[in-house]
Amino acid sequence: MTEVKGGSTVAPIVPHLWFDKEAKEAAAFYCSVFPNSQVTSEVTLRDTPSGDSDMVSFTVWGQPFMAISAGPYFKPNPSISFIVNFDPSRETNARAMIDEVWSKLSEGGFALMPLDRYPFSERYGWIRDKYGFSWQLMLTNPEGEPRPTITPSLLFVGDNCGKAEEAREFYLSVFRNSRAGNLFRYGPGQAPNREGTVMFTDFMLENTWIAAMDSALEHPFQFNEAISLIVHCRTQEDIDYYWSKLSAVPEAEQCGWLKDKFGVSWQISPAVLGEMLTKGTPEQRKRVTQAFLKMKKFDIEVLYRAFEGQ
């Protein structure tokens, strides 16, 4: 079922990765690991609270990503990972591809679940790469509606365990262009997971598929800012709307960043900001950077004035 709440003026949601100093290096690495991947832009933001920060945009197997080098403040963990679908109906050599990608990610990485056969997939593995980010590689069943090659996946653990379905319904209600996908629940005899909680679900927000699951196993982590989700808005009205709907932790609001009631970090950002930072002159980039560093919620008009030097 598709629910559209008015016309969407929001671009697809983009995962954002936080690094200490390795954003450019990591982007090049991911583009070497996955097919049909490329770095699309690089820019350095000068004189930020973290010093000079490299900002990189890149695509991984068609999925847009952004990354920033902004100091050792946030460390990635498996609360948000990336499911990579190797679909035999789309890639004739899918099984060989999954083994090759696993091998490359294993260099300096660590297997969270070994690459093996599981009840839900003929070939699956969950791996943390050398930068600390996590990937779930899966040989998918080509039956049914296709899914994108890469899907961000939210893991609800600890105090959040049991909230995956609530989060799914909340996000579906907030985003104007949203669509529910699969929903599979834990059954009896799957302790410590509670019967009826979410074993797996996925849903589409602004043409971006996102997955979620509950896990009652002991996990020493929660959502943090190392991975955030960027909502690129074309109007101030959209920025105001998503900010008011999603922000639940006032002390986390800074430079377009917010945290929702589940602890997931979002960036509610003007779509034009990327163009200002990548195509502007060094002086224009500096003015825009200094302007947005003073903001919590972004003000597009103020950014335009800074860009034009007004």
CA dihedral 176, 182, 185, 186 (to 10 degrees): -130
User: In 3D, which of 179, 172, 168 has the Cα closest to residue 211?
Assistant: 168
E strands along the chain, which residues?
2-4, 14-19, 38-48, 51-60, 63-69, 80-86, 110-118, 121-128, 134-139, 150-156, 177-185, 198-205, 208-214, 227-233, 257-259, 265-270
Is the separation of the CB atoms in 45 and 277 below 8 Å?
Answer: yes
pLDDT in tens, 117-150: 998 899 999 999 999 999 999 999 767 677 799 9
CA–CA distance, 68 with 130 (Å, rounded to integer): 17
80-214, which class in CATH?
alpha beta
- The arithmetic mean of pLDDT across residues 80-107, rounded, is 95
DSSP annotation string for 91-104: -TTHHHHHHHHHHH
The answer, yes or no, to whether residue 15 has pLDDT greater than 90, is yes
E strands along 36-194, which residues?
38-48, 51-60, 63-69, 80-86, 110-118, 121-128, 134-139, 150-156, 177-185
pLDDT in tens, 46-67: 888 888 899 999 999 999 999 9
- The arithmetic mean of pLDDT across residues 185-191, rounded, is 93
- The arithmetic mean of pLDDT across residues 249-265, rounded, is 97
CATH of domain 10-75+224-308: 3.10.180.10
Q: What is the pTM of this model?
A: 0.94
CA–CA distance, 66 with 279 (Å, rounded to integer): 16
Please tell me the predicted confidence (pLDDT) of residue 7: 44
- What are the tokens at 160? 């959040």
The answer, yes or no, to whether residue 42 has pLDDT greater than 60, is yes
Q: How confident is the model at residue 6 (pLDDT cuts 50, 70, 90)?
A: very low
- What are the tokens at 287? 């003015």
Write down the domain spans for the chain: 10-75+224-308, 80-214
Please tell me the predicted confidence (pLDDT) of residue 299: 96
Please tell me the predicted confidence (pLDDT) of residue 9: 59
Please tell me the predicted confidence (pLDDT) of residue 58: 97
In the chain, DSSP finds a helix count (H) and a strand count (E) of: 7, 16
When the pLDDT of each residue in the chain is averaged and rounded to a whole number, the result is 93
